[in-house]
Amino acid sequence: MSKFAKTWWGERFLSALEAFTDRGRLERGRSYSTDNRIKQWLLKDGKVEAKLRGNINAYFGVYKEPTYKVSVQMAHLTEAQWQKIIKQLTQRASFIARLLLNEIPENIESVFADAGVHLLPKNYKDFKVSCDCPDYAVPCKHIAGVCYRLAGQLDQDPFLLFEMRGLASEKLLRQLAESPLGKVLSDAKSNATAELMPVDSFFTRPISIKLPKDISLKGFWHGQQPLPQSIEPSTPATIPAMLIKKGGDFPAFWQKQGSFIEVMEDFYVRMRKNVLRGL
């Protein structure tokens, strides 16, 4: 069921829901995550408030198409806990690099474990949900539908997960970028794309220049100075597949469950090794 999400954090989010929810309600709830069902959606301060179109159901005494109000949020961490976690994150270059590229490291839970908490939900105690439908079960299919829609948004913007836990994404990014390691990585990220300029042609066009009068034909073809005996090695990329990562993971043409960035990052690393081996 969790394969509905594309990223590992989206799958973990839904897996926690599946652990304490009736499978039948989850399957029905999947259909409630579409635009046809969701009439209103508001995610603010880590809380989702939505209005869903329900069904006519004589068993529950519903004879007119209803609209149900649903809210979903997660338990917030305290400010002291967040400061302890951020301090640990800013001391690991690998964490900062992945987060600044809009990804959540697979081992990020180790940092939260040191603070005695966890980022991703583990059981129903991590959720605070409500729905005004007549179904007695919690979560109902309407809540499940909102969670499925939320998991899809987490795939696109993983920082929503931090917001659901009570930390604004702007605050997290600012503190990561202001840390000593964050400044270094931010500068490297900026330098990697600083020289990219738009062009009006896919091919290099020749530029005509006038030769100085003091250069003879022989000097032109043979050169005025001898060629260098060796070429200085190029500086290796600080972060593999930088341009791919800037575009975000799971582009529209990528239909596989695995991460497109991970595939391209491995490709870049192998190509770099092959080039160095050829030198």
Q: How many domains, in total, are found in the chain?
A: 2
Contacts with 55 (C-beta within 8 Å, 6 or more apart), sequence order: 62, 65, 66
> Does residue 124 sit in the same domain as residue 257?
no
Residue 162 amino acid letter = F
Q: What is the pLDDT of residue 238?
A: 61
Task: Kindly tell me if the per-residue pLDDT of 115 is higher than 60.
Answer: yes
> Does residue 136 sit in the same domain as residue 272?
no
Given a contact cutoff of 8 angstroms between Cβ atoms, the answer to whether 146 and 26 are in contact is no
> Does residue 261 sit in the same domain as residue 167?
no
Task: Give per-residue pLDDT as tens, 219-232.
Answer: 767 776 666 677 77
Task: List the Cα angle 246/194/100 in 5-degree steps.
Answer: 35
> Does 216 fall in a domain?
no
> Does residue 146 sit in the same domain as residue 85?
yes
> Does residue 271 sit in the same domain as residue 133?
no
Q: What is the pLDDT of residue 186?
A: 65
> Does residue 8 sit in the same domain as residue 145?
yes
| Selection from 68, 240, 262, 71 nearest residue 150 by Cα | 71
Task: Give per-residue pLDDT as tens, 63-86.
Answer: 888 899 999 999 899 999 999 998
Q: What is the pLDDT of residue 245?
A: 73
Q: Which structural domain, as residue segments, surrounds residue 170? A: 2-188
Mean of pLDDT values over 54-65: 79
> Does residue 245 sit in the same domain as residue 109?
no
Query: Percent of the chain having pLDDT more than 70?
Result: 82
Given a contact cutoff of 8 angstroms between Cβ atoms, the answer to whether 193 and 242 are in contact is yes
> Does 273 fall in a domain?
yes
Task: Kindly tell me if the per-residue pLDDT of 193 is higher than 60.
Answer: no
> Does 233 fall in a domain?
no
Q: Model confidence at 2, in pLDDT bands (50, 70, 90)?
A: very low
Q: What is the pLDDT of residue 103?
A: 82
Mean of pLDDT values over 207-215: 71
Task: Kindly tell me if the per-residue pLDDT of 33 is higher than 80.
Answer: yes
Q: What is the pLDDT of residue 8?
A: 83
Q: Which of 145, 161, 188 is the last residue of a domain?
A: 188
> Does residue 96 sit in the same domain as residue 157?
yes
> Does 20 fall in a domain?
yes
Q: What is the pLDDT of residue 41?
A: 92
Tokens 């260098």 belong to 228
Mean of pLDDT values over 261-265: 83
Q: What is the pLDDT of residue 1?
A: 41
Task: Kindly tell me if the per-residue pLDDT of 191 is higher than 60.
Answer: no
State phi, psi for 20 to the nearest 5 degrees.
Answer: -130, 25
Residue 58 DSSP label: G
Q: Which of 145, 168, 188 is the last residue of a domain?
A: 188
Given a contact cutoff of 8 angstroms between Cβ atoms, the answer to whether 1 and 28 are in contact is no
> Does residue 258 sit in the same domain as residue 180?
no
> Does 114 fall in a domain?
yes
Q: Which of 169, 188, 207 is the last residue of a domain?
A: 188
State phi, psi for 159 to the nearest 5 degrees.
Answer: -70, -15
| Selection from 146, 127, 142 nearest residue 25 by Cα | 142
Of 87 and 124, the structure prediction assigns the larger pLDDT to: 87
